[in-house]
Structure 1
């Protein structure tokens, strides 16, 4: 079974208008509301692919009630950790340019943090736990690292998709997979990625620093995957990007879907690229059928020499 954990979910309010005029009243032409949060997004893509998944989510207030009701009605069978504080609302504004305004995270008490850890302890050995998204400010930056250490002791594989100190410390705790983008990986090393050489070098460095596998997504540039001893690259397909929300989460979900089907990690890498691209090329999340069509045309290259 695959489990996802979303500590900092949201209601994502998508609104569309021709042009956003700051300082004046703007009227939306279209709007929709969906539960947001990287773990929930991963759950959605896996669910659409027919992969069994359980969604652990921390929720509070009227916004939390909305998300819980939505997930239950859609058959997610969520495991809800209740919070006293209110779950945030994120604004996704599509106009001449794409603008996001993310709400503040709810405050976590010591009891809330303990409830999360207790829930993780109930996950059976041999399962997979996906840790996705930002950490609320009231949690320590080593919170994910602590979960990863506990999971390893129980024989649970972990997938980490976050940024900043939470990524650096979590990576050092030894997750099975991390899935950073260029900015996130470069930031934890205080470097920049200006091309393939730097991308491969930092991905391999992350593997050496604790992650068993590293899937580095690079937008329209070739993605990188390494297990520390071997490294592969794949060029994403060309297409019109219409949606960036959830593309990275779809990449992680595509990797997990292929892994659940018994494919080796390097093949799961291609599945991740295909799912991420399928989402980027459509409104909402890309379908398994769209991902499969994309994957047929992807070419993966194994590097002959490692970059030190």
Structure 2
């Protein structure tokens, strides 16, 4: 089983406005509402590949009910913990520029976190747990490692997609995969990364710190993989970027969709790269068909340092 954890889900309200002007009345040309949050995005991508998974996390109020109903209507199993305050709403304004207004999210009590940890402890050897996104301020800063601790005696594979110290702290427990983008990688090491070779060297440092596999996303420059088999680059397919939201989450979804069936890290990396691009070229998250249409455009090259 694959479990995704989203500490701070949302309703992402996407509005398109022609020539948005601040301080004036603007008419919406198009609007859409989707459940948001990095773990939820991974669940939806996996579901599109017909990969069974369960979405965990915290939801509350009428907005939380909307998130649960939406996912369940798509066929995704959910096991969210109900909290008192409403799930947040994020506004994604698409016009001449992309502007985002993200809500803070509900307060999470200690008992809520304890309940989540108990659910995670039900994971079995061979299961995957995706820890993705940032936790709201009411949760402890070490919340990721607290969840990892509950599975230290099991052969559970953790996939971590977060930033800064939150990511670094998880390395002690040897996560199966971490996925920083190039900017996040630079911030971790307080470095200025220019070349692919520099990025790979810092990716190797994450391996030495405990990560088993590292995927570094680089937008239009493709992606890099550091693993036990060596260093690899995946080219980015050509297309018109329509949506930057969820591309990184789609990479994790595509990776797990393939790896959970074939257990080949390099081949899964190829599907990750195609999935990230497929989402970038869509208004919503990628579908299996979208990814299959791009997979042959992704070229994997082994790099020697």
TM-score interval (norm. to shorter): over 0.9
CA distance in 2: counterparts of 1:197 and 1:271, whole angstroms: 22
Mapping for residues 149-188 of structure 1, pairs under 5 Å: 149-188=149-188
Tell me which residue corresponds to 1:260.
260
2:158 is aligned with 1:197? no
CA distance in 1 between counterparts of 2:235 and 2:72 reads 38
Instruction: Tell whether the 8 Å contact from 2:243 to 2:279 is kept in structure 1 after alignment.
Output: yes
User: TM-score, normalization: structure 1?
Assistant: 0.95
Partner of 1:220, secondary structure, is helix
SS state at 2:255 partner = helix
Q: Which residue of 1 aligns with 2:143?
A: 143
Q: Counterparts of 1:268-283 in structure 2 under 5 Å? A: 268-283=268-283
What residue is the counterpart of 1:297 in the other structure?
297
Question: Could you list the per-position Cα deviations for residues 130-151 of structure 1 after superposition, in whole angstroms to 9, with x for gaps in the alignment?
Answer: 1111111111221112222322
Deviation at 1:173, TM superposition (A): 2.6
1:53 alignment counterpart: 53
Alignment of 1:37-186 (within 5 A): 37-186=37-186
Q: 1:114 to 1:83 in 2, by over 3 A?
A: same
> How far is the alpha carbon of 1:228 from its aligned partner?
5.0
Q: Distance in 2 between matches of 1:26 and 1:141?
A: 39
Shift in Å at residue 210 of structure 1? 1.1
Greater mean alpha carbon deviation, residues 174-183 or residues 21-30: 21-30
Stretch moving more, 10-19 or 120-129: 120-129
Residue aligning to 1:226: 226
Do the aligned partners of 1:39 and 1:132 also contact (CA within 8 Å) in 2? yes
Question: Is the 2:152–2:173 Cα contact (8 Å) retained in structure 1?
Answer: no
TM-score, normalised relative to structure 2: 0.96
* Residues 47 and 75 in structure 2, CA contact (< 8 A), matched pair in contact too: no
Give CA-to-partner distance per residue, 1:229-287, whole Å, 9 cap, x none. Answer: 61111111122111111111110011001101214101111110011111111221222
Match of 2:105, SS state, is coil
Q: Which runs of 4+ in 1 moved over 6 A?
A: none
